Amino acid sequence: MKFRNTLTAVLALAAGLAGAPAAYAIDGYAHPWQIGLQPSNSPSMEGIHMFHNGLLLPLITVIVLFVLGLLIYVMSKFNAKANPVPSRTTHNTLVEVLWTVIPILILVIIAVPSFRLLYLQRDIPAADMTLKIIGNPGWNWTYEYPDLGLNDDGSAKVSFTASLDDRARDLKTAADANVPYLLKTDNPVVVPVNKTVKLIVTSDPDGIIHAWTIPQFGMKIDAIPGRLNQDWFHAERTGVFYGECSELCGKDHAFMPIEVHVVSQEEYDTWAKTAQTAGLEEAYKYLASAEAADGQLAQK
């Protein structure tokens, strides 16, 4: 933790000297000139932060400095001026053993925590709720809440399709409306904070492969026609968090955003009950007023 704080301070200083903003984004999406990973909002993303900042970054720094030192040493000691008669050495058993064994040890050091992190991401814990996600050929997402009840035909009573908000399609209109460019959706996903959300992800049978991801949740899963994939996240703080389709899926790939509102359990329960009884439009009106009262971004 001490190393992470020091590293963050150094990066922030470097960004400030370059005229860039702070090192980390303060809300649910990346910003121009942002340095480093997006802030963590899940156990998986916290593990990614520790793996990157606590292991990979120091390790690669040591390797780069070591190689740089070797290059400077070789250039200064083994040049035509310092060695008019070049060495005819062709083999060195110790050096050859070292440059084989040391990289293997480095890879093992990286592999062990990497496998632990992968296991954490793929070992889906007991879920508090389930969310089904379907990628559509029209470059948008359909969301279903099966826990909130099913119709007679087995479909979820609470379901909706989320597309890019028209205000977010253009830089100027996005700035005027104070919404993130190409990230705002017309119907956001709503989940409770500090709950494990299990995702069932697929794509329309007549569609193509998409990928659903929220960077601050540290998860990404492919949406494949005819296949049900599973993933999970556990958001640890409230707010509005954004992602995008992360699979090259066609002409509107860049216009297929994801927006997730993480709210308190009480606000989620009220939103869900309102969606079941009064409809989604009224539910989103409630959500906007609740988030405005909480001082969060509410642009519904």
Asked if 133 contacts 160 with a C-beta cutoff of 8 angstroms, the reply is no
Same domain membership, residue 255 and residue 232: yes
- Rounded CA-CA distance 210/249 in Å is 6
Per-residue model confidence (pLDDT) at position 77: 86
Q: Specify if 285 maps to a domain.
A: yes
Same domain membership, residue 290 and residue 142: yes
Q: Please state the pTM of the whole predicted model.
A: 0.83
Per-residue model confidence (pLDDT) at position 252: 94
Total domains, the chain: 2
Per-residue model confidence (pLDDT) at position 86: 79
Per-residue model confidence (pLDDT) at position 296: 52
- Rounded CA-CA distance 170/64 in Å is 42
Q: 107: domain range?
A: 43-79+94-122
Provide the CA 43 distance to its chain's centre, in angstroms: 12
Same domain membership, residue 135 and residue 278: yes
Per-residue model confidence (pLDDT) at position 26: 54
Per-residue model confidence (pLDDT) at position 283: 96
Per-residue model confidence (pLDDT) at position 292: 86
- Rounded CA-CA distance 49/146 in Å is 33
**Of 125, 133, 128, which is closest to residue 156 (Cα–Cα)?**
133
Per-residue model confidence (pLDDT) at position 297: 47
Tokens encoding 215? 């960077």
Same domain membership, residue 103 and residue 250: no
Same domain membership, residue 162 and residue 70: no
Same domain membership, residue 274 and residue 134: yes
Same domain membership, residue 235 and residue 202: yes
Same domain membership, residue 215 and residue 133: yes
Residue with tokens 């709210």: 263
Per-residue model confidence (pLDDT) at position 33: 86
Extract the residue ranges of the chain whose pLDDT is less than 70.
1-26, 295-300
Same domain membership, residue 67 and residue 169: no
Asked if 243 contacts 256 with a C-beta cutoff of 8 angstroms, the reply is no
Same domain membership, residue 154 and residue 51: no
The CATH number linked to 248 is 2.60.40.420
CA angle 210, 146, 272 (to 5 degrees): 105
β 210-214/196-203 pair status: unpaired
